[in-house]
């Protein structure tokens, strides 16, 4: 398995030389400065590759995360031929520069969502956290979304009202800012009035419509991926549930099976994100990894700890609810199978994800969820698991 690291490009506070000291050789990055729907030129892609090469640490750009999908495609809004053509051209330009794995998501409007970016931990560090009560307060009392009551229990609604009544303007602003923090680079960010307005663009668009629009996207893109020799891997929804009334359609094993059924090709694959899938109590993440092993092209190894009310927080990589040893075993078995077949793509890229802020991470201003030391701890822990399981590796079924 290839150790990789998400890097936000030239504006990232964590540098390529620092990443090299972690031991990661794969660089997972994106051209966040390019707006949705515009072509990624071959020149821009080559320039990013050159930055990585000029650091002279043997690192390579191995995964794009992500090539964003325009919201009009998700809504099925108007003539989309130009957007699809631009997307395919960006893919062709990436392939021409030797970057052939694309991680993407199909979450409407909002990317990964948390309510706190610096949740205090007993050891003095901080983590990301999703608080169900605060999300309910945002939906019910700040956005005042019609029908939101149906999404929350009476108990959560009561607690949400109490939180809202006791909150200050600063508390409410911190909440919306935390929710928006999952959107990197050129992604739009919203205050409460702007988010209200943006949500109206999805009026009348339910799960059936989102699925239809997603199926259309795959029909436009996967044949191009096959022609270009590219792997296309969907990132599961985070959290894996509807939010703000927006349907999320990649949240469980049945959803993943549906995605693969739309285009039955190995190029139509999965980013196995242990944390995103692990936040759904119904998901057995190692079992999902084994079921869909042939289609996994990239992995995010992280862990979460869930509460009974639907809240969850980022756990240390080996301390959450998901059995990470069993998960890594499933991925190593798939690597072994591919190696036996002599496949060129046998080695799976993976990266540590959403680490705790620890030691000098605190106050360093890195992108939320992407500190240096916290992720390096996760990388080291998972490296140890991989090394131990790889020793005399036969099968871990």
Q: Where are the domains of the chain?
A: 2-113+200-390
In this prediction, residue 392 has a pLDDT band, given cuts at 50, 70 and 90, of low
Q: What are phi and psi of 21, to 5 degrees?
A: -70, -20
Are 311 and 129 in contact by the 8 Å Cβ rule? The answer is: yes
pLDDT, tens digit, 9 for 90 and up, residues 184-220: 544 567 889 999 999 999 999 999 999 999 999 999 9
The SS3 assignment for 349 reads strand
Q: What are phi and psi of 148, to 5 degrees?
A: -65, -30
Is 0.85 surpassed by the pTM of this model? yes
Query: What pLDDT, on the 0 to 100 scale, is given for residue 21?
Result: 96
Q: Which residues 6+ apart lie within 8 Å of 227 measured at CB?
A: none
Higher-confidence residue of 380 and 33: namely: 380
**Once rounded to an integer, what is the mean pLDDT over residues 61-80?**
95
Query: What pLDDT, on the 0 to 100 scale, is given for residue 207?
Result: 96
Q: What residues act catalytically?
A: 235, 273, 300, 353-354, 370
pLDDT, tens digit, 9 for 90 and up, residues 83-106: 999 999 999 999 999 999 999 999
Tokens at 297, concatenated? 């092209």
In this prediction, residue 183 has a pLDDT band, given cuts at 50, 70 and 90, of low
Query: What pLDDT, on the 0 to 100 scale, is given for residue 168?
Result: 97
Question: Does position 321 have pLDDT exceeding 90, yes or no?
Answer: yes
Q: Which CATH number fits domain 2-113+200-390: 1.20.1250.20, 3.10.129.10, 3.50.50.60, 3.20.20.150?
A: 3.20.20.150
d(CA 200, CA 367): 29
């Amino acid at each position: 398995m290839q150790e990789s690291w998400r890097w936000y490009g030239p504006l990232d506070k964590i540098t390529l030389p620092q990443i090299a000291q972690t031991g990661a050789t794969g660089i997972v990055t994106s051209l966040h400065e390019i707006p949705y729907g515009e072509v990624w030129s071959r020149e821009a892609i080559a320039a990013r590759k050159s930055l990585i090469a000029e650091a002279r640490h043997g690192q390579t750009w191995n995964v794009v995360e992500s090539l964003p999908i325009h919201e009009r495609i998700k809504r099925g809004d108007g003539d989309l031929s130009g957007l699809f053509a631009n997307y395919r051209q960006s893919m062709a330009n990436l392939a021409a520069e030797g970057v052939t794995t694309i991680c993407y998501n199909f979450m409407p409007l909002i990317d990964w969502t948390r309510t706190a970016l610096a949740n205090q931990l007993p050891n003095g560090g901080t983590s990301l956290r999703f608080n169900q009560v605060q999300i309910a307060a945002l939906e019910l009392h700040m956005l005042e979304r019609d029908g939101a009551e149906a999404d929350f229990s009476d108990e959560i609604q009561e607690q949400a009202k109490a939180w809202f009544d006791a909150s200050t303007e600063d508390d409410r602003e911190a909440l919306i800012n935390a929710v928006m923090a999952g959107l990197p680079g050129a992604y739009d960010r919203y205050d409460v009035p702007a988010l209200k307005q943006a949500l109206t663009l999805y009026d009348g668009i339910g799960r059936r419509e989102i699925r239809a629009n997603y199926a259309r996207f795959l029909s436009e893109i996967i044949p191009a991926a096959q022609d270009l020799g590219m792997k296309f891997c969907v990132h599961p929804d985070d959290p894996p549930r509807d939010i703000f009334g927006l349907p999320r359609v990649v949240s469980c094993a049945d959803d993943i099976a549906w995605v693969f059924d739309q285009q039955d090709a190995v190029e139509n694959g999965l980013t196995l994100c242990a944390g995103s899938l692990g936040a759904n109590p119904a998901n057995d993440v190692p079992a999902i990894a084994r079921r869909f092993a042939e289609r996994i092209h990239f992995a995010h190894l992280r862990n979460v700890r869930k509460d009974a009310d639907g809240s969850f927080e980022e756990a240390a990589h080996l301390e959450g609810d998901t059995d990470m040893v069993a998960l890594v075993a499933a991925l190593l078995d798939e690597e072994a199978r591919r190696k036996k077949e002599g496949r060129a793509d046998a080695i799976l890229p993976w990266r540590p994800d959403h680490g705790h802020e620890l030691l000098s991470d605190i106050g360093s201003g890195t992108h939320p969820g992407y500190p240096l030391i916290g992720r390096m701890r996760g990388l080291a822990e998972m490296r140890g698991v991989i090394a131990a399981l790889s020793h005399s590796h036969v099968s871990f079924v």
